[in-house]
Amino acid sequence: MSGSGAMDTAASRNATAAAAAALGAGGGLAGLLPEVQTLELLVAVSIFVAIHSLRQRRAQGLPAWPLVGMLPSLLLGLRGDMYEWITGVLRARGGTFTFRGPWLTNLHCVVTADPRNLEHLLKTRFGSFPKGPYFRDTVRDLLGDGIFGADDEVWRRQRKAASLEFHSAEFRALTATSLVELVHRRLLPVLAGAEAAGAAVDLQDVLLRLTFDNVCMIAFGVDPGCLSPGLPEIPFARAFEDATEATIVRFLTPTAVWRAMRALDVGNERVLQRSLAGVDEFAYDVIRRRKEELEAGRGAADAAGRRSDLLTVFTKMRDEDGRPAYSDKFLRDICVNFILAGRDTSSVALAWFFWLLGKNPAVEDRILEEIEGIVAAREAQGEVEEELVFQPEEVKRMEYLHAALSEALRLYPSVPVDHKEVVEDEVFPDGTVLRKGTKVIYAMYAMGRMESIWGDDCREYRPERWLRDGRFTSESAYKFTAFNGGPRLCLGKDFAYYQMKFAAASILRRYRVRVVEGHPVAPKMALTMYMKHGLKVTLAKRDKGSSRF
């Protein structure tokens, strides 16, 4: 193609020269000649660049243009479903591709969905793939030195302390009782109100409120009350939401630009600073009051002494000299990070799960069968309650429900893509060479849709793929990456499953949930896999003692 382009150019140059000779060297035409040649040169160069760039497509998966790199393809991808676009490129490239961003931007990265690479970066060579300074600097105003952006010793210390706490009996008791309170005193009454009024309700919004209140109870020991009748707007929740969104915008803005905007206090940075003030006001107020409570009740088994939320546990910690182990700023960072980690992930997973059930009634029937079996076993022991509240050991026995939720997370992982930075030259098991400083994106959404990982039916919602002899069997964390893997495996995984199973079973036993006809369902472009338009549903009471209508 490039040969024929050159011939065309030579032919047209001859034609131009012949025409000029025929007409005589008139002053006007002679003056035009250099311009015509410049134009031809430009056309020739453009053709060459276009051909070269399109050839890159064969070699690298996407055309790479001078200056702008692969940005045009990315922008085209962004117009549709971005996650599907990444999946398509990854499948065509056998699981890994290198994205070349425009000059002078921070968009260059290697994108992978290959389980061998995931095991390499999340476990085998964990030390070479930290979150890195770019990520940390970008999120620092919101997350400070908290676990989410931290590396090395700062991360290790928080991980160890939080891990001990998450596995303690007190913490499990706190999570179980706070969930019963929230589901039975808040969630179910709100749903009952919607059912009685025959009104459609945004189930995703209701679930987001549930998990926000729940994670605040775990982190701060305080219930902000987002899931209250009338679904009020809570200033702390609003400030947290705005601060998170404004932080995400930084990832799409060149670093020098957002830094300048921050210095000038304009645009998105202005929004961020205002929302952070709201987050900090709430956080420092809770910290001050907790310290006062603990001071007042030191040694006594008062309310604060019995608390087992993260703030209380970390506030009580002492260094070798008996002084508080953490400053107020660090306590704030710890709590804000846990709220960020645990606030939306379970609720968006539940929203996708309910939507998938609507499309797969046979799965819903099996879940109801399992729940009815558990209720029947309880009744056979003579335990009949006015209000059915599932017990922790009953939730544990819901194996099919566990599989159905895992299958929803496989197809719609709450964190659709994640990020690392290489600190020394590396080579992935698939042969991809990574230079020090390269950013690596691992694409969880795409991984759930790879035939090479899950087989030809990878796009089908089939909880049975998780069952062996009727029991739930977990998969390798490098194949099912919804909860990350290796040393940074999600700390809240067990709690999240408990929370999702408890809420889903409590709703499904009471209501038939139907998505409003024509309601558009699509993922939102964000760090968490929200449904862009929420999930509008109607509810109908189930007949008592019957799983179906």
Binding site for ligand HEM (CB under 6 A): 147-148, 159, 215, 218, 338, 341-342, 345-346, 349, 409, 414-415, 418, 482-484, 488, 490-492, 495-496
Instruction: Please state, in angstroms and rounded to a whole number, the distance separating the CA atoms of residues 204 and 531.
Output: 8
Q: Pick from 509, 515, 503, 496: which is nearest to 357 by CA?
A: 515
> For the chain, how are helix, strand and coil distributed in percent, rounded to 5?
60, 10, 30
Residue 112, H or E segment: strand 109-112
Q: Which is nearer to ligand HEM, 349 or 403 (CB)?
A: 349
Q: Which is nearer to ligand HEM, 166 or 258 (CB)?
A: 166
Shortest Å distance, C-beta 412 to ligand HEM: 10
Q: Which is nearer to ligand HEM, 260 or 489 (CB)?
A: 489
Q: Which is nearer to ligand HEM, 53 or 315 (CB)?
A: 315
Tell me if residue 147 falls in helix, strand or coil: coil
Shortest Å distance, C-beta 421 to ligand HEM: 12
- The alpha carbons of the chain give a radius of gyration, in whole angstroms, of 28
Q: What 3 state SS string does 394-463 have?
A: HHHCCHHHHHHHHHHHHHCCCCCEEEEECCCCEECCCCCEECCCCEEEEEHHHHCCCHHHHCCCCCCCCH
Instruction: Please state, in angstroms and rounded to a whole number, the distance separating the CA atoms of residues 340 and 319.
Output: 27
Shortest Å distance, C-beta 279 to ligand HEM: 17
Q: Which is nearer to ligand HEM, 215 or 279 (CB)?
A: 215
Residue nearest to ligand HEM (CB): 492
Cα–chain-centroid distance for residue 245?
13
Q: Which is nearer to ligand HEM, 61 or 342 (CB)?
A: 342
Tell me if residue 269 falls in helix, strand or coil: helix
Shortest Å distance, C-beta 265 to ligand HEM: 29
Shortest Å distance, C-beta 139 to ligand HEM: 10
Q: Which is nearer to ligand HEM, 64 or 110 (CB)?
A: 110
Q: Which is nearer to ligand HEM, 151 or 269 (CB)?
A: 151
Q: Pick from 104, 112, 101: which is nearest to 72 by CA?
A: 101
Q: Is 335 assigned to a binding site?
A: no
The DSSP line for 488-542 is G--TTHHHHHHHHHHHHHHHHHHEEEEEPTT----B-SSSS--BTT--EEEEEEP
Shortest Å distance, C-beta 455 to ligand HEM: 22
Shortest Å distance, C-beta 346 to ligand HEM: 4
Q: Which is nearer to ligand HEM, 48 or 134 (CB)?
A: 134
Q: DSSP state, 123? A: I
The DSSP line for 334-372 is HHHHHHHHHHSHHHHHHHHHHHHHHH-HHHHHHHHHHHH
Shortest Å distance, C-beta 45 to ligand HEM: 43
Q: How many Å from the N-terminal Cα to the C-terminal Cα in the chain?
A: 66
Shortest Å distance, C-beta 213 to ligand HEM: 12
Does residue 171 contact residue 219 with C-beta atoms inside 8 Å?
no
Shortest Å distance, C-beta 481 to ligand HEM: 7
CA distances from 238 to 242, 244, 333, 405, 446 (A): 6, 10, 18, 28, 31
* Most distant CA atoms of the chain, gap in Å: 111
Q: Which is nearer to ligand HEM, 53 or 528 (CB)?
A: 528
439-443 and 417-421 strand pairing: antiparallel
Instruction: Please state, in angstroms and rounded to a whole number, the distance separating the CA atoms of residues 503 and 498.
Output: 8
Please state the φ and ψ torsions of residue 65, each to the nearest 5 degrees: -100, 150
Cα–chain-centroid distance for residue 104?
27
Binding-site residue numbers for heme are 490
